[in-house]
Structure 1
Amino acid sequence: MKSSLLIPPAVRADGAFSRPPEASLTWTDPVTGHQGFLVIDRLVRGLSSGGLRMRQGCTYEEVRDLAAGMSVKEALHYDPSNRYLPMGGAKGGIDCDPHSDEARGVLSRFLAFIRPYVDQHWATGDDLGTTTELIEEVLGELGVEGCIAPVVRTLDDPAAARKRFAEAFAVDVDGIALAELVGGCGVAEAVLTVLDRDGVPRPSATAAVQGFGAMGGATARFLAAAGIRVVAISDVHGTVANPRGLAVEDMLHHRGAFGSIDRGRLGPDDILLDRDDCLSFPTDVLVPAATSYTIHEANQARVAARYVVEAANVPVTAAAEQELRRRGCVVIPDVVANSGTNAWWWWTLFGDVAPGAAASLAKVRGSLRALVTETLEFAGEAVCTPREAARHIADARRELLLHRLGER
């Protein structure tokens, strides 16, 4: 589906959104003083989609940025041939250490406060520092049907939809849940698409992955399976590297809680480096898959890769991205590269893909390859960044969707 080159008025020349969100709130926990934030960037059919994160230091600005990105991710995957009808974007965030003793109570009180949104307008799920299982558990205690209840109510057969959803989340591939793999599969396909377009042979291509949690681990797995040498992986403790390639599968099967690498099981040729050395290790591709804003003005000069493919949400600041572009580094934005997880949730719920691994991964691969290709072609024709191109494509697709729904 091709888009017009018309730049939407909601996007400024620097690619940032100038339109205010449709709803936002800041909440202060009366017990601990921790703050929580909800931003509904926009509603489509009265619905919005986006995860709920919890991390110490989370800010309103961060949540606003993420919510705007979710609107783009939703619109990018509008396909009239699918049953899935995209929603608007939203995001929730809580400034609290998710591993602290008080975290669950803070989460429960935050969700109780924003219950009307979760019950009627905001379909949510896991994000950094949370799990879907925990959110579902807390919502059940509050009497809410579940984190995707607003969307399920719009479907013709809610019971069948919930059954598909449960079946899909019960699938695992070699001991790793399918729900964890689909996002990394999409990011890896974005990497492979970029390399294939530029004629970089897979056997000689190298990649570094910053972060070894669900998204980073799955991305490393699919890259290694495709023949890419993953030569550096970082976790909170540092970077493990090997120019000849790391044993990704073994590292995954002995990965600790929160994505930690078991350094007692490394190969004899593996080397230990500082955490930020993952950025400067010489590779074709860098995949930031840790937290937001890890690549910024102060450290962007260390990035040695030809391509940065964003697996985390907003891992590169706008200023850093400008400098990377000036140096000739191509950044494939999060709204494209890591959008497979969000789309897979809704493809499964709406019935566009069967719950099994083969069908799910095939649809993610096909969709991401087409989307990355279109984004890069648009960027080349319009002489803009891939991020700006993605936002323009999303705007055009959203207009088509709203016209179909009669919401223009």
Structure 2
Amino acid sequence: MNNVFQVAINTLNQAGTIGGINARVMEILQAPKRIQQFRIPLKLDSGAFKVFPAYRVHYCDALGPCRNGTRIRPNLTLDEIKALGLFMTIKHCAAAIPAGGAKGGIQADPAELTENDMERLVRAFVRSLSPKGPWADVPGADIGTGEQAMAWMLDEYEQITGNHCPAAINDKPAILGGSVGGEEATGRGVFITLKAAAEDLGMVVSRSSAVVQGFGQVGSALAGLLNKEGARIVAVSDVFGGIYNTEGIDIASLTAYVAETGKVVDFPGTRPVSNAEIFGVDCDIIVPAAVQSVIHKDNAAHVKAKLIVEGANGPVTTEADEILAGKGVTIVPDVVANSGGATVCHFERTQGLSDQYWDLKTVNAMLEKRILAAYRDAAETARAHEGATLRIGTWISALKKIEKAMKLRGWV
């Protein structure tokens, strides 16, 4: 299995070399600025006692306070959190967000926790963070967490400080100062960049076929938007397995089915396809929207799609990148494609600090403008550096901003 942090560092170094980034800047970025590693003891409702490893990484804050992402899953590692913190640093730069990159998480299985267990776990997580707050570190949601967890985290922060501060936590419910449009923001951002990339390749989305790997918040939102656009979704998968129908899958019906059963498998009118097989399905577009390193050197050669749009963080390894580039496959990188969530989190913090809240039409219009600008900047930078892919173009553009900030601060 590829080390996801080493994959991220490989991309960083490749972009730094091609982009001619200052060696001192590159040395700083080889590791996070700050790593918090702690353990949370908890008496569970079952009567059991467990100690949960937890992490918070501040990767780089040259451009502003660190923000985003709290992941809870059983196999979580520090390397994963470090990689995601680096991705978030680049993602914020790509989307012109004045923020640094952070990521945090707890090694736990949400399925084994009661609601009360989960509440006490995330409250304990917030208590352990230092520094924290809207001008230092703003956590948000990720795999294994959601609006309710963020509401508990916000309340815990406010209990600690004695002040109401909606800008201290992202991805919370709108009634507590969250932003409308946040739930589907990442999926919508993937859709926006997918359409732009398809247009650049001369593809028409309404006449294209697509595979969506992952049917959580990101994959389901993206699939729904693709279906409405007229695209034919031929395969969908989740952690339990996949489904396939060459004639297309009705996403509205599938969404209702998943809400009832909790999984996509056995959806009427489809045949099974495994997660190992899904990337070899004959289609025009693939959107990996689950976890990292799913397209790698052992399966990249089987990809038939012309376009891959990364809905997940780090779903394509460095080796697979090279194989796919050799096949002429265009990849829209995660740090642009799935930056919709980070962008609306930025809107959320801005609204929380100002006490001025925007409607859904405004949020979606601002999101589209910012995401398209990030995509166009990545494409332009890639063209300006011979042999650079969209991924490398995005990273070069981001690194030049970080380089400028570090020089102005006197760090290098």
**Interval of TM-score (by shorter of Structure 1 and Structure 2):** 0.7 to 0.9
Q: Which amino acid aligns with 2:98?
A: P
**Pair 1:390 & 2:394 matched:** yes
After superposition, the Cα gap between the structure-2 partners of 1:280 and 1:12, relative to the gap in structure 1 and judged at 3 Å, is farther
Equivalent residues, number: 380
Q: Deviations over 1:298-323 (max 9, x none)?
A: 33333322221111122222233233
| Aligned counterpart, 2:3 | none
Aligned partner of 2:220 among 200, 217, 222: 217
Q: C-alpha displacement at 1:115, in angstroms? A: 4.8
CA distance 1:167–1:39, change in 2 (3 Å): closer
**In structure 1, what is the Cα distance between the partners aligned to 2:369 and 2:71?**
29
Partners of 2:364 and 2:95 lie apart in 1 by: 16
Residue 350, structure 1, aligned to residue 368, structure 2: no
> Alpha carbons of 1:255 and 1:11: their partners in 2 closer, same or farther (altered >3 Å)?
farther
Percent of matched pairs sharing the same residue: 26
Q: Please, what TM-score do these two structures have when normalized by structure 2?
A: 0.80
Residue 22 (structure 2) aligns with: 9
Aligned position for 1:69: 87
| Equivalent residue, structure 1, for 2:247 | 244
Aligned partners of 1:12 and 1:241: how far apart in 2?
Answer: 47
Q: State the Cα distance separating 1:325 from its structure 2 match.
A: 2.2
CA–CA distance in structure 1, aligned partners of residues 332 and 389 of structure 2: 9
Residues 70-85 of structure 1 correspond to what in structure 2 (within 5 A)?
70-78=88-96
2:383 to 380, 384, 408: 380
Deviation per CA, 1:369-395, whole angstroms, max 9, x where unpaired?
Answer: 232232123223312122221111112
The separation in 1 between residues aligned to 2:213 and 2:110, in whole angstroms, is: 21
Q: 2:67 aligns with which of 33, 37, 49?
A: 49
> 2:176, 2:121 → 1: CA distance?
31
2:6: which partner in 1? none
Of residues 79, 94, 110 in structure 1, which corresponds to 2:125?
Answer: 110
| Cα pair distance change 1:341/1:145, threshold 3 Å | farther
CA distance in 1, matches of 2:109, 2:211: 28
State the TM-score, normalized to the length of structure 1. Answer: 0.81
Report 1:133-172 matches (<5 A).
Answer: 133-141=148-156, 143-144=159-160, 149=165, 166=175, 169=178, 171=180
Structure 2 Cα separation of the partners of residues 163 and 298 of structure 1: 39
Cross-structure match for 2:104: 92
Q: What amino acid is aligned across from residue 393 of structure 2 in structure 1?
A: A
Q: What is the aligned partner in structure 1 of residue 371 from structure 2?
A: 368
**Unpaired stretches in structure 2, ≥5 consecutive residues:** 1-17, 43-49
Contact 1:121 1:150 (C-alpha < 8 Å) held by counterparts: no
Q: Where does the alignment leave 5 or more consecutive residues of structure 1 unmatched?
A: 79-84, 154-160, 172-177
C-alpha separation in 1, matches of 2:383 and 2:280: 27
1:401–1:360 distance in 2 versus 1, CA, 3 Å: farther
* Post-superposition offset of 1:294: 2.2
Residues 145 and 164 (structure 1), Cα distance of their counterparts in 2 relative to 1, 3 Å cut: farther
Q: Which moved more, 1:17-26 or 1:337-346?
A: 17-26
Compute the displacement of 1:97 (Å).
0.9
1:205–1:11: structure 2 CA closer, same or farther, 3 Å change rule? Answer: farther
Q: State the shift of 1:167 in Å.
A: 8.3
Distance 1:7 1:167 in 2: 45
Q: Are the equivalent residues in 1 in contact too, given 2:241–2:264 (CA < 8 A)?
A: no
SS at match of 2:111: coil
8 Å CA contact 1:182, 1:360 repeated in 2: no
Q: Distance in 2 between matches of 1:319 and 1:150?
A: 42
- State whether residues 208 and 287 of structure 1, in contact with CA within 8 Å, keep that contact through their aligned partners in structure 2: yes
Taking the aligned partners of 2:332 and 2:362, their CA distance within structure 1 comes to: 25
Q: How does 1:154-303 map to 2 (within 5 A)?
A: 166=175, 169=178, 171=180, 178-256=181-259, 260-261=263-264, 263=266, 266=268, 268=269, 270-303=270-303
Matched, 1:338 2:342: no
